[in-house]
Amino acid sequence: MATAEEIAQRDAEDSIEQVISRYTTDLQSGLTTASAEHKLKEDGLNELYKPPKPTLLMLFIMQLLGFIIILLIIAAVASMTVNATGSKRDDPLSYTTGIAIFVIVILNAGIAAWTEHKAGDALEALSKMTQAAIYVIRDGKEVQITTNTVVRGDIVVLGTGDVVPADMRLAEAEDLKVSEMALTGEPDDVSKTWKLKPKKEGEPEKLTPEVCVFSGCNVTNGKGRGVVTATGMGTRIGRIAQLIAGEEGPKKKCYCLPDTSANQTPLQRNLEQLGAKIGILAIVVCVLVFIIGVVLDRKDLDNLDSPSALYMVLIAVTLAVAAIPEGIPLCVTISLSIGCSDMVNQHVLVRKLAAVETLGSASVICSDKTGTLTEGKMTMVNMWAAGVSYDVAGKGFDPTVGKITKCDGGADATRDMAVRSTLLSGILCCNTTLEKVKDPDTGEEKWEPRGNSSEAPIVVAARKVGHSEKVSEEYPRIIEIPFSSSRKMMLTVSDVGGRSNLCEDGMPLPTGTKYMAVCKGAPNFIVDLCEERMMPDGSVSKMTDAAKAEVLKVVDEYSMKALRVLAVAVRPMKELPFDTHDDEISTDQKFSALRQDLRLLGLVASIDPDRDGVKDSVLAARGAGIRVVMITGDYLKTAIAIAKNVQILQPQDDEATAAVDCNSLRPGGQYLEHREMDRMTSTVRVFARAKPEDKLEIVKSIQRMGQVAAMTGDGVNDAPALNQANIGVAMGIQGTEVAKGASDMILTDDNFCSIVSAVEKGRAIYSGIQKFVAFIMSVHIAEVMQIFVCIVAGIPVMRTPLQILFLILVTDLPPSIALGMEPGEPGILKLRPRPKTEPIVLGWMWFSMILNGAVLSLVIIGVYIAALVYYCGEILQAEIATIEDSTLQLSKARTVTFISLVWSENVRSYIARSFDKPFYVNLCGNRMMQYAIVLAQIALYSAVFIPFLSDKILVLRGKDIGGEGWALAVIGPCGTLILCELSKVITHYQMKSYQRWLAKKEAENAAKLEAEMASPKKVVEAESSSKEAKEPLASSVDKIEKVERPPAVRL
């Protein structure tokens, strides 16, 4: 059986009659509706394969495999097992601790799974929004259908501006050109024909057959029709997508669940490492306390006959609950989910929940130029006509915005003869039209060109001076000779019979003029063909060598400003120089006859303007320590000019080293050795004449140097680079489905500014996560300290496991989530990017958490002891057991401590909003914090006052503690506020010390890296070919970068 490649080869080499017969269709009548429906059922929709989206159940199960969650499940099972074997096994309330832990685990997994599920739905919605339509021949009629219902054998009608819906063999082609950049990476439009041509000896192999067009390519010129030969995954784009996905399909773990370990971002790895450390620490503490409790023979105050070991198992469960930060996964999920929602409002769709954080750690952003840094709309900014220079105002394709003025004095030039004549002649030599269309989603009307992007500026400028959109009807075209790389120009002949002037206020035409040839193209070629030129008053003068030099000087001036320059020349004729009915005359012969004795009218100069706000965003990125690298297919001079406009290149940058042609990356067709490549990419900010494969090598080089790379892309051939980058950013408007599938994020507006906004948001989210992790961890550290002190000192344990869960998940969780939503502190973009190996909890943060936990423990233990003395008259458990009604009195003391702790944690919620600034700075700046504190207070008073919940489940006595108990509880928050604020003095010093250490290490790493690249010793590196290459494998250069732990801070 023939392979897809062999079938495609056969379709390209057989005659069109054979192809039509093979697919049982007809060129004139196409398929019947019944036949098309049958083929659609047989072949499926014409779209790329999408792996089955993980079900909500599968996502839920995956969430249960987290290390912290597994520890909690073990603790719940242990609690229920002990109670099931104890004296209270028949009491349903004895199982509340285990049940509560399971409820929390399920709640966390459910929220995380639902959030990820909704993110997948958002991407699917984006895909549906971009569904296109195409015209086909069905039942002998031309009808419009959605592209995903095209089938093999359909006769598709193509026109300028269409996107080829499937792989096709052409049956008709009139001046047909397609852009195959998304498929091959070639920037130039490719001419297509329906005629098979024998290959000439020595002729190089073409990238694609001339008689075929391929799915996803834009039609930029002409029209045609052809028979569909392949759809969906059978197309060229589909085969590339299959190569990217891998023939073996997605990896699995546990034989059924997707293996996502290769796609982990730094945040996920940091959280896993933190969970592992906490889990090990929890096990050690639990074992230690268990041993101490058994040795000291600590017993349950309510059941003194119970074995000490059994009681200490329950205490160990209590410690496990106190030590394991079960709120962290939930808080991270909610924080990232909210962050992803905010990203949508900033035109960024996050495909992977934690990817927004990774972009916040990006140290290099590699960006396309067209459509990302620029508007993707060629706009005329200057023109030169009849020896006079003009400015053209406006932006984009709206002809009602801006006007044409003289450079000298700024006078309105709308009615100038030279301007009107040059632009009308230019539009007569264009196939592009301009029309107003309505956005189906917003209902907003906007101007859009249909056709070649290089012609759009001429059409827009012509409409600005009042030329009609019906020019083609007023000046019927007789002949068209399309642009070719050999001719370097396009030529048309239009009927101008009966006119004394070309147009109103236009140049005079010689008496008897019936036809006018117009040439539009490369200035140096057209100027050489000109024998005369138009003067400002409409007269004609001879084109001397001096006049040619003057024109070419203007061309050079425009080129130095990175403007794309086209020349426009005409030839008025009474008769055509050949017989139009003579089929023996070739196109080249017609061209040679018509291009004689040309008259130069003028030059038009266009540029793709930079997007609004890009310059500020690039400067903001620089201030954030992020190197912005522009990778473009433009020529070097054009790239440099754009880079200067958007501040990627600044005056202090050396253009010789900061901007290079990508040919220098691959001299002789081979890429440089890694050491040489790394030396170049470490300083270059502009890569010109880049191919898609160059992007991949650039990203690899950046990663070898230990940096976190974000890469933008839109074409099929960009997919490997997007896949390799730490963060692949696809374009939502211009991007192909393959590029979107390989990316981590999608820019719905294709705007560079959105990337920088995402960087800022990513940093703010990560900072918020650090704050609530530090907050929650200090709570757990304090809980462990308090229980440990109680066991060792022989004091009754101050709270039950269920009370601890209630405290952490009901009264502490809302403020924690609010901390995760904390707005970024001013100047967050002025901080240097985090090293990719930097843990989420730094050394000084551990010190701060332990210090705050110790402060909180000291204060709360003090309150607890005071409450024990007041209510029980004793402190030690053995003595309290002897007093009358000890259980009730102990409950009162625990209730006072419970209330004091909640109040203290609420105060600490405001303190934790900044590691080193006073709590009153922007005190009410986070509105969600106010809601969280109110919610925490409602939960507190519900816990201590609502019958059954308070006295039976939580064992709290809010109604019985009296005014003295409430007054005693106030001591906690007051002491916490004073001592925690004083501890910020130490934290501030440690933060400054860490920043100094980090700056020193960066300087040392840079010096080592430079020495490594300069060394003649060969650098040995390993390369990865799959998604696991998100993190490049360790090399000698990588090892230099790895961030070491800072030494202990000296106080």
Cite the active site residues: 368
DSSP state of 885: T
Q: What is the CA radius of gyration of the chain?
A: 37
Angle ∠(231,237,238) on CA atoms, nearest 5: 60
Question: How many CA atoms are closer than 13 Å to the CA of 16, on its beta-carbon side?
Answer: 21
169: its two tokens: 């063999």
Count of residues making up the chain: 1051
Q: Rounded CA gap, 262 and 176, in Å?
A: 44
Per DSSP, which regions of 164-287 are E strands?
Answer: 167-179, 190-191, 212-213, 218-230, 252-253, 257-258
930 to each of 89, 622, 941, how far by Cα in Å?
Answer: 42, 35, 17
Tokens representing residue 661 in the block = 């042609």
Distance, CA of 311 to CA of 942 (rounded, Å): 29
Cα–Cα distance between 690 and 875 in angstroms, integer? 77
Alpha-carbon gap, residue 335 to 315, rounded angstroms: 32
Rounded CA-CA distance 266/560 in Å is 44
CB 138 within 8 A of CB 129: no
Close Cβ partners of 6 (under 8 Å, ≥ 6 residues apart):
none
CA distances from 831 to 354, 602, 616, 689, 965 (A): 21, 51, 17, 33, 47
φ/ψ (deg, to 5) at 223:
-150, 165
Q: Please give the C-alpha separations between residue 868 and each of 300, 394, 794, in angstroms, as whole numbers.
A: 17, 79, 13
Q: How many helices (H) and strands (E) does the chain have?
A: 34, 29
> Which amino acid belongs to residue 64?
L
Under 8 Å between Cβ of 509 and 496: yes
Closest CA to 129 of 425, 435, 442: 442
Beta carbons of 649 and 643 less than 8 angstroms apart:
yes
Pairing of strands 709-713, 364-368: parallel
Instruction: Specify whether the CB–CB gap between 894 and 958 falls below 8 A.
Output: no
Distance CA 870, CA 968 (A): 10
Residue 231's identity, in one-letter code, is T
CA dist 570 and 533 (Å) reads 9
**Separation between Cα atoms, residue 105 and residue 116, nearest integer Å:** 17
Q: Which residue has the tokens 């079938």?
A: 7
- Per-residue burial over 95-126, b if 16 or more Cβ lie within 10 Å, else e, is bbbbebbbebbeebbebbbbbbbebeebbeeb
Backbone angles phi and psi of 646, in degrees to 5: -100, 10
Joined tokens for residue 399? 């002809």
Backbone angle region of 254, left / alpha / beta, with phi > 0 → left and psi within -120 to 50 → alpha: left
Helix 962-1014 to helix 886-911 angle, to the nearest 10 degrees?
40
3-state secondary structure of 505: coil
Kindly write down the DSSP assignment for every residue of 749-809, as one continuous string.
T--HHHHHHHHHHHHHHHHHHHHHHHHHHHHHHHHHHHHHHHHHHTPPPSS-HHHHHHIII
